[in-house]
Amino acid sequence: MTKEYSKFPILKVKVCPGSKVYWVYIGSKAHQQIQPIVQRMKKISALVLITNSRIQKLHGVQVINELKGIGVKLEIITIPEGETSKSLKEAERVLNLLIEKDIDRHALIIGFGGGVIGDFSGFIAATYQRGLKFGLIPTTLLSAVDASVGGKVAVNLEKGKNMVGAFHQPSFVLQDLDFLKTLSQRDYLSGVAEVIKHALIGDPVLLKNLLAEPTLVKSRNEKMLEIMVARSVRYKNSIVSRDEREKGLRQVLNFGHTVGHAIESFKNYQGITHGEAVSIGMVSALLLSNRIFKFPLPEIERVINLLRQLGLPLWAEDVPAEGIIEHLKYDKKRHKSETFFVLLKKPTQPKFGIPVPGKILEEVLQFQKHKL
Ligand SMILES: NC(=O)c1ccc[n+]([C@@H]2O[C@H](COP(=O)([O-])OP(=O)(O)OC[C@H]3O[C@@H](n4cnc5c(N)ncnc54)[C@H](O)[C@@H]3O)[C@@H](O)[C@H]2O)c1
Ligand SMILES: [Zn+2]
Protein backbone atom coordinates (compact mmCIF):
# COMPACT_ATOMS: atom_id res chain seq x y z
CA MET A 1 0.00 0.00 0.00
CA THR A 2 1.36 3.39 -0.90
CA LYS A 3 0.26 6.60 0.73
CA GLU A 4 1.68 9.72 -0.80
CA TYR A 5 1.24 13.31 0.13
CA SER A 6 3.01 16.47 -0.75
CA LYS A 7 4.56 18.43 2.06
CA PHE A 8 6.07 21.16 -0.06
CA PRO A 9 8.87 21.11 -1.09
CA ILE A 10 9.54 17.53 -0.02
CA LEU A 11 7.43 14.67 -1.34
CA LYS A 12 7.13 11.66 0.94
CA VAL A 13 6.45 8.14 -0.32
CA LYS A 14 5.70 5.43 2.20
CA VAL A 15 7.38 2.16 1.32
CA CYS A 16 6.00 -1.06 2.80
CA PRO A 17 8.01 -4.05 1.63
CA GLY A 18 6.39 -6.46 4.07
CA SER A 19 8.99 -6.75 6.79
CA LYS A 20 9.32 -3.03 7.42
CA VAL A 21 7.80 0.39 6.72
CA TYR A 22 9.94 3.39 5.86
CA TRP A 23 9.72 6.70 4.07
CA VAL A 24 11.40 7.92 0.91
CA TYR A 25 11.82 11.72 0.93
CA ILE A 26 12.07 13.29 -2.53
CA GLY A 27 12.90 16.87 -3.47
CA SER A 28 15.40 19.67 -3.53
CA LYS A 29 17.34 19.81 -0.21
CA ALA A 30 15.83 16.50 0.97
CA HIS A 31 19.12 15.72 2.73
CA GLN A 32 18.22 18.36 5.31
CA GLN A 33 15.61 15.97 6.70
CA ILE A 34 18.35 13.79 8.11
CA GLN A 35 18.66 15.45 11.52
CA PRO A 36 15.01 15.01 12.60
CA ILE A 37 14.93 11.50 11.11
CA VAL A 38 18.02 10.27 12.99
CA GLN A 39 16.97 12.07 16.16
CA ARG A 40 13.66 10.15 16.06
CA MET A 41 15.54 6.83 15.83
CA LYS A 42 16.28 5.37 19.24
CA LYS A 43 19.69 4.51 20.70
CA ILE A 44 21.91 5.45 17.73
CA SER A 45 25.48 5.12 19.05
CA ALA A 46 27.37 6.36 15.98
CA LEU A 47 26.91 7.41 12.37
CA VAL A 48 29.01 5.79 9.63
CA LEU A 49 28.84 7.55 6.27
CA ILE A 50 30.03 5.38 3.37
CA THR A 51 30.78 7.22 0.13
CA ASN A 52 33.48 7.74 -2.51
CA SER A 53 35.83 10.70 -2.85
CA ARG A 54 34.13 12.14 -5.97
CA ILE A 55 30.75 12.33 -4.25
CA GLN A 56 32.34 13.60 -1.04
CA LYS A 57 34.05 16.40 -2.99
CA LEU A 58 30.89 17.34 -4.92
CA HIS A 59 28.24 17.18 -2.21
CA GLY A 60 29.87 15.94 0.99
CA VAL A 61 30.06 19.23 2.88
CA GLN A 62 26.30 19.69 2.95
CA VAL A 63 25.58 16.17 4.16
CA ILE A 64 28.47 16.02 6.63
CA ASN A 65 27.47 19.36 8.19
CA GLU A 66 23.95 18.03 8.79
CA LEU A 67 25.34 14.82 10.31
CA LYS A 68 27.75 16.72 12.57
CA GLY A 69 24.78 18.68 13.94
CA ILE A 70 23.21 15.45 15.26
CA GLY A 71 25.78 15.30 18.03
CA VAL A 72 26.66 11.60 17.72
CA LYS A 73 30.12 10.20 16.84
CA LEU A 74 30.59 10.40 13.05
CA GLU A 75 32.92 8.24 10.94
CA ILE A 76 33.40 8.79 7.22
CA ILE A 77 34.57 5.85 5.14
CA THR A 78 35.39 6.19 1.43
CA ILE A 79 35.71 3.31 -1.01
CA PRO A 80 37.23 3.56 -4.50
CA GLU A 81 34.89 4.63 -7.29
CA GLY A 82 33.37 1.98 -9.55
CA GLU A 83 31.82 -1.47 -9.66
CA THR A 84 35.06 -3.21 -8.61
CA SER A 85 34.53 -1.86 -5.09
CA LYS A 86 31.48 -4.09 -4.74
CA SER A 87 33.77 -6.95 -3.66
CA LEU A 88 34.19 -9.20 -0.63
CA LYS A 89 37.75 -7.89 -0.32
CA GLU A 90 36.63 -4.28 -0.01
CA ALA A 91 33.79 -5.33 2.30
CA GLU A 92 36.28 -7.12 4.56
CA ARG A 93 38.48 -4.00 4.67
CA VAL A 94 35.53 -1.83 5.68
CA LEU A 95 34.19 -4.37 8.22
CA ASN A 96 37.63 -4.46 9.87
CA LEU A 97 37.70 -0.67 9.86
CA LEU A 98 34.39 -0.65 11.76
CA ILE A 99 35.91 -2.85 14.48
CA GLU A 100 39.01 -0.61 14.66
CA LYS A 101 36.75 2.42 15.05
CA ASP A 102 34.78 0.75 17.88
CA ILE A 103 31.50 0.75 16.00
CA ASP A 104 28.86 -1.26 17.86
CA ARG A 105 25.58 -2.72 16.65
CA HIS A 106 23.59 0.40 17.54
CA ALA A 107 25.40 2.42 14.87
CA LEU A 108 23.60 3.71 11.78
CA ILE A 109 25.24 3.09 8.39
CA ILE A 110 24.46 5.73 5.75
CA GLY A 111 25.18 4.99 2.08
CA PHE A 112 25.81 8.24 0.22
CA GLY A 113 26.27 7.68 -3.53
CA GLY A 114 25.06 5.73 -6.54
CA GLY A 115 23.93 2.12 -6.79
CA VAL A 116 27.43 0.82 -6.08
CA ILE A 117 27.64 2.66 -2.75
CA GLY A 118 24.02 1.75 -1.96
CA ASP A 119 24.50 -1.98 -2.55
CA PHE A 120 27.86 -1.98 -0.77
CA SER A 121 26.81 0.00 2.30
CA GLY A 122 23.64 -2.09 2.57
CA PHE A 123 25.77 -5.23 2.46
CA ILE A 124 27.97 -3.88 5.26
CA ALA A 125 24.87 -2.97 7.27
CA ALA A 126 23.31 -6.40 6.71
CA THR A 127 26.39 -8.32 7.78
CA TYR A 128 28.31 -6.35 10.44
CA GLN A 129 27.47 -7.87 13.82
CA ARG A 130 24.49 -9.65 12.19
CA GLY A 131 22.85 -6.49 10.99
CA LEU A 132 22.77 -2.75 11.61
CA LYS A 133 20.23 -0.11 10.69
CA PHE A 134 20.99 1.79 7.52
CA GLY A 135 19.79 4.75 5.49
CA LEU A 136 20.43 5.82 1.92
CA ILE A 137 21.17 9.14 0.26
CA PRO A 138 21.21 8.24 -3.46
CA THR A 139 23.18 10.53 -5.77
CA THR A 140 22.51 8.90 -9.16
CA LEU A 141 19.17 8.73 -10.94
CA LEU A 142 19.55 4.96 -11.25
CA SER A 143 19.89 4.55 -7.52
CA ALA A 144 17.09 7.06 -6.88
CA VAL A 145 14.54 5.30 -9.10
CA ASP A 146 15.64 1.71 -8.70
CA ALA A 147 18.54 0.53 -6.52
CA SER A 148 17.46 2.41 -3.37
CA VAL A 149 14.01 0.79 -3.28
CA GLY A 150 13.43 -2.86 -2.50
CA GLY A 151 16.12 -3.78 0.01
CA LYS A 152 18.38 -5.88 -2.20
CA VAL A 153 22.00 -5.44 -1.08
CA ALA A 154 25.01 -7.28 -2.48
CA VAL A 155 28.62 -7.48 -3.53
CA ASN A 156 30.01 -9.28 -6.58
CA LEU A 157 32.07 -12.43 -6.87
CA GLU A 158 34.59 -12.90 -9.66
CA LYS A 159 32.23 -15.40 -11.23
CA GLY A 160 29.10 -13.31 -11.02
CA LYS A 161 27.45 -10.01 -10.23
CA ASN A 162 25.50 -9.59 -6.97
CA MET A 163 26.25 -13.18 -6.01
CA VAL A 164 26.60 -12.56 -2.25
CA GLY A 165 23.98 -10.48 -0.52
CA ALA A 166 20.81 -10.17 1.47
CA PHE A 167 17.43 -8.53 1.64
CA HIS A 168 17.99 -5.72 4.13
CA GLN A 169 15.55 -2.81 4.09
CA PRO A 170 16.77 0.71 4.84
CA SER A 171 15.21 2.81 7.59
CA PHE A 172 14.94 5.86 5.32
CA VAL A 173 15.88 7.07 1.82
CA LEU A 174 16.62 10.74 1.17
CA GLN A 175 16.41 11.61 -2.53
CA ASP A 176 17.93 15.07 -2.87
CA LEU A 177 17.26 15.97 -6.50
CA ASP A 178 19.89 18.74 -6.39
CA PHE A 179 22.59 16.09 -6.11
CA LEU A 180 21.63 14.72 -9.54
CA LYS A 181 22.65 17.99 -11.25
CA THR A 182 26.34 17.01 -11.29
CA LEU A 183 25.78 13.60 -12.90
CA SER A 184 27.27 13.06 -16.36
CA GLN A 185 24.61 12.95 -19.09
CA ARG A 186 25.51 9.32 -19.74
CA ASP A 187 24.95 8.28 -16.10
CA TYR A 188 21.79 10.38 -16.00
CA LEU A 189 20.37 8.64 -19.09
CA SER A 190 21.26 5.28 -17.59
CA GLY A 191 18.71 6.05 -14.86
CA VAL A 192 16.18 7.35 -17.39
CA ALA A 193 16.18 3.90 -19.04
CA GLU A 194 14.93 2.36 -15.78
CA VAL A 195 12.27 5.08 -15.52
CA ILE A 196 11.07 4.18 -19.04
CA LYS A 197 10.99 0.54 -17.94
CA HIS A 198 8.77 1.37 -14.95
CA ALA A 199 6.50 3.44 -17.20
CA LEU A 200 6.16 0.68 -19.80
CA ILE A 201 5.41 -2.12 -17.37
CA GLY A 202 3.20 -0.34 -14.92
CA ASP A 203 2.59 3.40 -15.02
CA PRO A 204 0.51 4.74 -17.94
CA VAL A 205 0.61 8.31 -16.58
CA LEU A 206 4.40 8.30 -16.41
CA LEU A 207 4.57 6.78 -19.90
CA LYS A 208 2.35 9.57 -21.26
CA ASN A 209 4.54 12.21 -19.61
CA LEU A 210 7.75 10.75 -21.00
CA LEU A 211 6.40 10.31 -24.54
CA ALA A 212 4.97 13.85 -24.58
CA GLU A 213 8.03 15.70 -23.26
CA PRO A 214 11.34 14.05 -24.24
CA THR A 215 13.13 17.40 -24.23
CA LEU A 216 12.15 18.04 -20.60
CA VAL A 217 13.42 14.57 -19.74
CA LYS A 218 16.70 15.12 -21.56
CA SER A 219 17.30 18.55 -20.03
CA ARG A 220 16.60 17.33 -16.45
CA ASN A 221 13.67 19.69 -15.96
CA GLU A 222 13.04 19.83 -12.20
CA LYS A 223 9.34 19.07 -12.31
CA MET A 224 9.91 16.19 -14.74
CA LEU A 225 12.69 14.85 -12.52
CA GLU A 226 10.39 14.89 -9.52
CA ILE A 227 7.67 13.07 -11.48
CA MET A 228 10.14 10.45 -12.76
CA VAL A 229 11.62 9.76 -9.32
CA ALA A 230 8.39 9.85 -7.30
CA ARG A 231 6.36 7.73 -9.73
CA SER A 232 9.19 5.20 -10.15
CA VAL A 233 9.60 4.83 -6.39
CA ARG A 234 5.86 4.44 -5.99
CA TYR A 235 5.60 1.86 -8.77
CA LYS A 236 8.61 -0.18 -7.65
CA ASN A 237 7.23 -0.13 -4.11
CA SER A 238 3.87 -1.41 -5.33
CA ILE A 239 5.67 -4.46 -6.73
CA VAL A 240 8.22 -5.17 -3.99
CA SER A 241 5.63 -4.73 -1.25
CA ARG A 242 3.70 -7.63 -2.79
CA ASP A 243 6.77 -9.80 -3.43
CA GLU A 244 9.62 -8.75 -1.16
CA ARG A 245 11.84 -11.78 -1.87
CA GLU A 246 11.35 -12.17 -5.63
CA LYS A 247 9.22 -15.30 -5.57
CA GLY A 248 7.13 -14.24 -8.57
CA LEU A 249 5.65 -10.85 -9.39
CA ARG A 250 8.91 -8.95 -8.74
CA GLN A 251 10.25 -10.57 -11.91
CA VAL A 252 8.33 -8.01 -13.99
CA LEU A 253 11.04 -5.53 -12.96
CA ASN A 254 13.40 -7.55 -15.15
CA PHE A 255 11.66 -6.27 -18.29
CA GLY A 256 14.43 -5.48 -20.81
CA HIS A 257 17.02 -7.12 -18.57
CA THR A 258 17.27 -10.59 -20.17
CA VAL A 259 18.93 -9.27 -23.33
CA GLY A 260 20.34 -6.32 -21.34
CA HIS A 261 22.28 -8.58 -18.97
CA ALA A 262 23.51 -10.74 -21.87
CA ILE A 263 24.92 -7.61 -23.56
CA GLU A 264 26.61 -6.45 -20.34
CA SER A 265 28.08 -9.89 -19.84
CA PHE A 266 29.22 -10.12 -23.51
CA LYS A 267 30.98 -6.77 -23.10
CA ASN A 268 32.40 -7.81 -19.76
CA TYR A 269 30.63 -4.81 -18.16
CA GLN A 270 32.99 -2.45 -20.04
CA GLY A 271 32.05 0.44 -22.32
CA ILE A 272 28.29 0.29 -21.76
CA THR A 273 26.16 1.59 -18.89
CA HIS A 274 23.49 -0.60 -17.32
CA GLY A 275 20.77 1.71 -18.65
CA GLU A 276 22.14 1.56 -22.20
CA ALA A 277 22.03 -2.24 -22.07
CA VAL A 278 18.48 -2.10 -20.66
CA SER A 279 17.45 0.32 -23.42
CA ILE A 280 18.54 -2.23 -26.06
CA GLY A 281 16.96 -5.06 -24.06
CA MET A 282 13.63 -3.20 -23.84
CA VAL A 283 13.55 -2.84 -27.63
CA SER A 284 14.14 -6.62 -27.95
CA ALA A 285 11.41 -7.32 -25.38
CA LEU A 286 8.96 -5.02 -27.18
CA LEU A 287 9.65 -6.66 -30.56
CA LEU A 288 9.22 -10.09 -28.95
CA SER A 289 5.99 -8.88 -27.33
CA ASN A 290 4.77 -8.06 -30.83
CA ARG A 291 5.67 -11.53 -32.12
CA ILE A 292 4.21 -13.43 -29.16
CA PHE A 293 1.32 -11.22 -28.00
CA LYS A 294 0.73 -8.94 -31.01
CA PHE A 295 1.78 -5.93 -28.94
CA PRO A 296 0.90 -2.98 -31.25
CA LEU A 297 3.70 -1.82 -33.57
CA PRO A 298 2.77 1.91 -33.40
CA GLU A 299 3.36 1.77 -29.63
CA ILE A 300 6.79 0.25 -30.23
CA GLU A 301 7.59 3.02 -32.71
CA ARG A 302 6.66 5.64 -30.13
CA VAL A 303 9.01 4.12 -27.56
CA ILE A 304 11.81 3.75 -30.11
CA ASN A 305 11.38 7.43 -31.06
CA LEU A 306 11.61 8.40 -27.39
CA LEU A 307 14.82 6.38 -26.90
CA ARG A 308 16.27 7.95 -30.08
CA GLN A 309 15.41 11.49 -29.00
CA LEU A 310 16.99 10.94 -25.62
CA GLY A 311 20.14 9.44 -27.11
CA LEU A 312 19.63 5.97 -25.62
CA PRO A 313 20.83 3.12 -27.88
CA LEU A 314 18.66 0.65 -29.82
CA TRP A 315 21.61 -1.66 -30.46
CA ALA A 316 25.29 -1.97 -29.47
CA GLU A 317 27.33 -1.73 -32.66
CA ASP A 318 30.09 -4.07 -31.51
CA VAL A 319 27.77 -6.85 -30.29
CA PRO A 320 26.72 -9.56 -32.77
CA ALA A 321 23.26 -11.11 -32.33
CA GLU A 322 24.99 -14.49 -31.93
CA GLY A 323 27.01 -13.03 -29.04
CA ILE A 324 23.81 -12.17 -27.17
CA ILE A 325 22.34 -15.63 -27.78
CA GLU A 326 25.59 -17.24 -26.61
CA HIS A 327 25.50 -15.25 -23.37
CA LEU A 328 21.83 -16.03 -22.80
CA LYS A 329 22.94 -19.64 -22.34
CA TYR A 330 24.15 -18.60 -18.90
CA ASP A 331 20.75 -17.09 -18.07
CA LYS A 332 19.10 -18.75 -15.08
CA LYS A 333 15.77 -18.30 -16.84
CA ARG A 334 16.82 -20.44 -19.82
CA HIS A 335 15.64 -24.00 -20.32
CA LYS A 336 16.75 -26.13 -23.31
CA SER A 337 16.47 -23.87 -26.38
CA GLU A 338 13.87 -21.56 -24.82
CA THR A 339 14.60 -18.41 -22.86
CA PHE A 340 12.03 -17.00 -20.46
CA PHE A 341 11.18 -13.34 -20.90
CA VAL A 342 9.09 -10.62 -19.33
CA LEU A 343 6.88 -9.45 -22.19
CA LEU A 344 4.03 -6.99 -22.56
CA LYS A 345 0.55 -8.02 -23.67
CA LYS A 346 -0.34 -4.34 -23.90
CA PRO A 347 1.39 -1.20 -22.55
CA THR A 348 1.59 -1.58 -18.74
CA GLN A 349 0.38 -5.21 -18.85
CA PRO A 350 3.51 -7.32 -18.23
CA LYS A 351 3.63 -11.13 -18.14
CA PHE A 352 6.65 -12.88 -16.72
CA GLY A 353 8.05 -16.35 -17.42
CA ILE A 354 7.06 -16.32 -21.10
CA PRO A 355 9.06 -18.95 -23.06
CA VAL A 356 10.50 -17.64 -26.32
CA PRO A 357 11.79 -20.20 -28.86
CA GLY A 358 15.39 -19.66 -29.99
CA LYS A 359 14.35 -19.14 -33.63
CA ILE A 360 12.02 -16.22 -32.85
CA LEU A 361 14.63 -14.63 -30.60
CA GLU A 362 17.25 -14.85 -33.32
CA GLU A 363 14.93 -13.33 -35.93
CA VAL A 364 14.07 -10.45 -33.61
CA LEU A 365 17.71 -9.73 -32.71
CA GLN A 366 18.75 -9.82 -36.39
CA PHE A 367 15.91 -7.42 -37.24
CA GLN A 368 16.94 -5.14 -34.39
CA LYS A 369 20.59 -5.18 -35.47
CA HIS A 370 20.06 -4.63 -39.21
CA LYS A 371 16.70 -2.90 -39.67
CA LEU A 372 16.34 -0.31 -36.90
N1 LIG B 1 19.90 -3.15 -5.25
C2 LIG B 1 19.19 -3.01 -6.34
O3 LIG B 1 17.97 -3.27 -6.36
C4 LIG B 1 19.85 -2.49 -7.58
C5 LIG B 1 19.07 -2.12 -8.68
C6 LIG B 1 19.72 -1.59 -9.79
C7 LIG B 1 21.11 -1.45 -9.80
N8 LIG B 1 21.84 -1.84 -8.71
C9 LIG B 1 23.29 -1.72 -8.68
O10 LIG B 1 23.63 -0.33 -8.84
C11 LIG B 1 24.93 -0.24 -9.42
C12 LIG B 1 24.92 0.82 -10.51
O13 LIG B 1 24.54 2.03 -9.92
P14 LIG B 1 24.82 3.44 -10.62
O15 LIG B 1 24.40 3.40 -12.02
O16 LIG B 1 24.26 4.47 -9.72
O17 LIG B 1 26.42 3.48 -10.70
P18 LIG B 1 27.54 4.06 -9.72
O19 LIG B 1 27.14 3.94 -8.31
O20 LIG B 1 28.82 3.39 -10.12
O21 LIG B 1 27.59 5.59 -10.13
C22 LIG B 1 27.94 5.95 -11.44
C23 LIG B 1 29.06 6.99 -11.45
O24 LIG B 1 28.52 8.24 -11.06
C25 LIG B 1 29.33 8.83 -10.04
N26 LIG B 1 28.43 9.66 -9.28
C27 LIG B 1 27.53 9.27 -8.35
N28 LIG B 1 26.79 10.31 -7.96
C29 LIG B 1 27.22 11.38 -8.66
C30 LIG B 1 26.82 12.75 -8.72
N31 LIG B 1 25.79 13.20 -8.01
N32 LIG B 1 27.50 13.58 -9.55
C33 LIG B 1 28.51 13.12 -10.32
N34 LIG B 1 28.92 11.84 -10.33
C35 LIG B 1 28.28 10.99 -9.50
C36 LIG B 1 29.89 7.64 -9.31
O37 LIG B 1 31.06 8.00 -8.59
C38 LIG B 1 30.17 6.69 -10.47
O39 LIG B 1 31.36 7.00 -11.12
C40 LIG B 1 25.29 -1.62 -9.93
O41 LIG B 1 26.25 -2.18 -9.08
C42 LIG B 1 23.99 -2.39 -9.83
O43 LIG B 1 24.19 -3.77 -9.57
C44 LIG B 1 21.23 -2.34 -7.60
ZN1 LIG C 1 18.26 -2.55 -14.02
**Which whole number is the average pLDDT over 295-304?**
97
Identify the pLDDT of residue 160: 84
Mean pLDDT, rounded, of the chain:
93
What is the C-alpha to C-alpha distance for residues 313 and 262, in angstroms, rounded to an integer? 15
- Atom of ligand 1 lying closest to residue 152 CA: 1
The one catalytic residue in 133, 236, 327, 333 is: 236
The runs of H, that is alpha helices, within 242-348 are 257-266, 274-293, 297-310, 321-328
Distance 277 CA to ligand 1 centre (A): 15
Identify the pLDDT of residue 117: 98
**Which whole number is the average pLDDT over 59-79?**
97
What is the C-alpha to C-alpha distance for residues 46 and 55, in angstroms, rounded to an integer? 21
What is the C-alpha to C-alpha distance for residues 139 and 118, in angstroms, rounded to an integer? 10
Q: Count Cβ atoms within 10 A of the Cβ of residue 100 and give its class: 0-12 exposed, 13-18 middle, 19 or more buried.
A: exposed
What is the phi/psi pair of residue 321, to 5°?
-55, -40
The one catalytic residue in 274, 276, 299, 327 is: 274
pLDDT at 4 over 50: no
The model's pLDDT over 215-227, given as tens digits with 9 standing for 90+, comes to 999 999 999 999 9
What is the C-alpha to C-alpha distance for residues 3 and 188, in angstroms, rounded to an integer? 28
- Atom of ligand 1 lying closest to residue 122 CA: 1
What would you measure as the largest C-alpha separation in the chain, in angstroms? 63
pLDDT at 145 over 60: yes
Q: Is 257 a catalytic residue?
A: yes
Identify the pLDDT of residue 9: 67
Identify the pLDDT of residue 340: 93
The DSSP call for residue 9 is T
**Which whole number is the average pLDDT over 257-282?**
95
The runs of H, that is alpha helices, within 203-266 are 204-212, 214-218, 222-240, 257-266
**Which whole number is the average pLDDT over 310-330?**
90
